[in-house]
Amino acid sequence: MTIQVGAFEAKTHLSRLLAAVERGERVTITRRGKPVAMLVPPEPAAEPQGDDLVRELAALRARTRPGPESIRELRDEGRDR
């Protein structure tokens, strides 16, 4: 179902219109009788799959984890030799 409202009414009753959109309705906002915008429910976000998450975490770990030389350099940084 589509609800049609003027811009002033949309501004005045935004929370009511958002509740209608949450229920799955579409709201067309008009200015001087001409449609200028629509409020619609968002598309469902795709859930990342487990394998994809594991690959992403492994790549992140490889980019951010220092190697043995880096750990030694970090340890020795600021020490008087």
pTM over 0.75: no
Among 6, 2, 3, 1, residue whose Cα is nearest residue 36: 6
14 pLDDT above the threshold of 90: yes
Q: How many helices (H) and strands (E) does the chain have?
A: 4, 3
For residues 27 and 1, what is the distance between their CA atoms, to the nearest angstrom? 9
pLDDT at position 69, please? 65
62 band by pLDDT with thresholds 50, 70 and 90: confident
Burial group, residue 48, by CB count within 10 angstroms (0-12, 13-18, 19+): exposed
Lowest mean pLDDT among 9-13, 20-24, 43-47, 55-59: 43-47
Domain extent for 33: 2-39
**CATH code, domain with 21:** 3.40.1620.10
Q: Does 9 map to a domain?
A: yes
28 band by pLDDT with thresholds 50, 70 and 90: very high
For residues 20 and 46, what is the distance between their CA atoms, to the nearest angstrom? 24
Number of structural domains (the chain) is 1
